[in-house]
Chains A and B, each alone.
Chain A
């Protein structure tokens, strides 16, 4: 029995600073699926991730995005998050003076309020956090440092995945989470993501390289070029891209 799509994007066009980046994207992701979006630099991969998360710098020109049947594009960023959409940032932001622990508790409580669950006080939260950390086999060394401040590139990316584990979204969008990671960090992050793959959670993995997909096996691979999805296939498409590079894509057209 075919499940209805968790996320259904149709004809999505979006611009930043007057430049149209997305020129009609169609995409459907079902519960439990892992989709990878690959493509050359400037193809619009990160724009798609940002637009789905509601970044105010991007203007939607046309098209629709339905999440759980609701109009995602009509929701504020925080409403999308509370509905279960999570974006792991390509460039996580530093927040001075706020510890990771305080930040995560604020975020988790915002989600819990939405779900009508009681908020966690600092002590309950620490217990909850301990369990989560234990489950993914991480320590709490990042928790009492200000959010991303002074973090190495790898620590910042790990911190995004930690937030993913704590906030338990239904749709997780990973924007170039693999960039800047050495192979060990990449394996750790991938192992954690695999652990967080459950039937009612879907992933949209945006990446420039096939490397990450050696460790996180996607169900569907899309190739984005010049703001459009030009090819969709299975995991073998990623290998093909790795072998051929992106040169065979010109002006958004498959020329091979």
Chain B
């Protein structure tokens, strides 16, 4: 049984006030969607640790905090303030503060690419939005996704038409600021049509070290032969709660490279779902979590091989210091008929202190016989053999430890194609390791 709490009732109440107030002038289909979301959330309530998908993660701190729905920021941050979260000065980007679109900080796209706020997109091209929105991120069993769906209103909309290649990475920045205990429900939709190519960087961050809650959902669909490099950077405040779902859906012969790094948040839960719906698809899930103090990060990934001749490679590395805890669940489903599936999963966890802890659970469900699926996971301190190897080359013990730890992170960052982002993340990693 799911726990029902007064918080659930309060959230349902806040939905009703919101839906009947300013957010009421929306098309009927969207209203239905929201109603479906809040009804389901009301039924499910917050998850508890008796549920398999939440065995290692308690969301009590979220359920017990009286978050209020975010309101527009009292002050729009300056470009200088958001600059550290961007890739240089130029490039196409959408910036949201407390969930609200900031036109003055955003830059439009060109070449027929649509880059706008979801609210605008719902008004401007309801057909495309309606065709894809909430079609991939399933919420029947996911209370947070249901809650996000109830509050669908604002977020990023990216539409790359067929055969268009977007030269520069598209940046989506979500900032929370203002010092109040607010919740935002960003909802993002990325549609990459057939044979189109794009790189996208989605960043969640804060200008302060506040307590707030982000409950985000991003749906990404890649058409036939499309190529998407999607990067997700979670740099929330160290006191924030971050819950998110990223759902991809791939057509025939498409490629999705989904890179994710989690640096921030007191408590972070990220569900990644990938459906390989057409034959010949390629998927890379490449993730890093770098935690310290009492941080807790839970990555729950599901790769669904629904078609034949698809290839998926999943690499998740965790570097855990202090009393932090990393959870990784890697579920791989190979559907009947998904022959010639080639799937490889690895999860390596480096424990830098005796107080750190990692849980790693692979879950393979294979219903086809002509497939290749491998998985492996490790949890442990630095390899003493590697340490001696470095020392035997003249590298001092302290530096050797730092180098080996850095390697754990660098292995993941090295798979990212966007050099500017790689450099930015590399600097963050080095900074974090220098502190420890």
Contact = CB atoms under 8 A, between A and B. Distances in A.
A106 B403 contact: yes
Contact of A78 (B386, B396, B404, B408): B396
A77 B397 CA distance: 9
B391 A81 contact: yes
A225 to B, nearest CB: 26
Nearest to B386: A93
B44 to A, nearest CB: 40
B389 interface: yes
A78 B410 contact: no
A82 B390 CA distance: 12
Contacts, number: 84
Contacts of B411: 96-97, 146
A89 B394 contact: no
Contacts of A56: 384, 388
Interface residues of B, number: 27
B386 A95 contact: yes
Main secondary structure of the interface of B (DSSP, over half): helix
A98 B407 contact: yes
B279 to A, nearest CB: 28
Contacts of A89: 389, 392
Contacts of A72: none
Nearest to B408: A97
A165 to B, nearest CB: 13
Interface stretch (A16-24, A59-67, A107-115, A239-247): A107-115
Contacts of B406: 97-98
Contact of B389 (A82, A86, A95, A96): A95
B138 interface: no
Contacts of A97: 406-412, 414
Contacts of B393: 78, 81, 86, 103, 106-107, 110, 163, 167
B431 to A, nearest CB: 17
A76 interface: yes
B399 interface: yes
Contacts of B384: 56
A95 B388 CA distance: 12
Contacts of A167: 393-394
A21 B392 CA distance: 21
A92 interface: yes
A78 B396 CA distance: 6
Given A93-B385, A106-B399, A110-B399, A77 B407 contact: no
Given A54-B391, A98-B410, A106-B390, 10 more contacts: A54-B392, A76-B397, A81-B393, A92-B389, A93-B383, A96-B408, A97-B406, A98-B406, A107-B395, A110-B396
Interface of B: 348, 383-386, 388-397, 399-400, 403-404, 406-412, 414
10 contacts: A54-B391, A54-B392, A78-B394, A78-B397, A81-B393, A81-B394, A95-B389, A96-B408, A97-B409, A110-B399
